[in-house]
Amino acid sequence: MSRPQYPFAAIVGQDEMKLALILTVISPQVSGVLIRGDKGTAKSTAVRGLAELLPERAEAAGTPYHLSPGEYREYREELDLPEAEPETRRTRVPVVELPVGATEDRVAGTLDLETTLTAGRKRFEPGLLAAAHRGILYVDEVNLLDDHVVDLLLDSAAMGVNTVEREGISLTHPARFSLVGTMNPEEGELRPQLLDRFGLCVTVTGETDPDARVQIIERRLAFEADPAGFAGQWRCQSDELAQQIASAIDLLPQVEAGHGVLRQVAQTCMEAGVDGHRADITMVRAARALAAWNARTEIVPDDLSQAAHLVLPHRMRRHPLETIGQVQSR
């Protein structure tokens, strides 16, 4: 039996980080979350703990692409998969970690051109993007990756597919995942063009309240002494969180963003002085996820306020956040 993960529900503080992570699994279309902060602030612990709360997925067995049964039928010919549809199995949502030294081939996969030309069929060695499909792709120290690899990750996170091309031959497979990048700003920054492409961004610091720090110590020591027993103590809270996340994922398609909401988002982004329109679209997606998280099909002012604080600060040149969220009903 594998060692239990530290429960997401047991993490002390870091509420903004936990909310951002939850939103990106409710709606992967927000294009990922960047967590900036010092080491030892529960970033990786939160990611692994969150994965334990996600509902199991139905998967076509026997392929490296983690396809749903419907995706198997859709991509069978493109990926040269057996015509007979395999059995369906239930699997846990994985956390795929991308190492700092990962190459483009390791991330995207490689297409064997010689086999493709001589045998008349595509031979593809899947990479980490295929392994992360319908899961969580965790990139620690994302600021230390080569820019072109970060671009590749962000392109796939936004498009939901990965396309590999070589000498005029291409192959496409689904690559929908929740992207989580972490970085310590003291070790270097991301280029603004890459920073803008992360949908959400939060900054985490160590707790400054002595009582909270004592709680962190007590809980960590209790977990290390008896991981299974500690996880069991948090089972009820973990089950409640898991149910709330599953319900939000199901509810998300029903959440509507009316004209008044869209106009307020556009006005807010204009006042913030952000470039382009990516922030506007991401803010709407984050607000919809927030509404679903709170079991609503209507976006309210507080959703917009919270979304703005996650979407805009790493993009903006001015700071009008204190006035955000006053939506005009139409």
The Cα 66–Cα 56 span in angstroms is: 12
Residue 162: burial class (beta carbons within 10 Å; 0-12, 13-18, 19+): buried
> Whole-angstrom Cα distance, residue 114 to residue 107?
21
Residue pair 46/17 in contact by the 8 Å Cβ criterion: yes
With H, G, I as helix, E, B as strand and everything else as coil, classify residue 211.
helix
Task: Return the SS3 of 178.
Answer: strand
> What are the Cα distances from residue 145, in Å, to 108, 222, 273?
14, 35, 28
Give residues with Cβ within 8 angstroms of 15, minimum separation 6: none
Q: What angle do CA 200, 37, 227 make, to 5 degrees?
A: 95
Gap between the Cα atoms of 72 and 68, Å rounded: 6
> H helices of 4-82, where?
15-26, 43-51, 69-75
Q: What long-range pairs does 323-329 form, CB within 8 A, spacing at least 24?
A: 324/268, 325/301, 326/264, 326/301, 327/260, 327/261, 327/264, 327/299, 327/300, 327/301, 328/260, 328/263, 328/264, 329/260
Catalytically active residues are 278
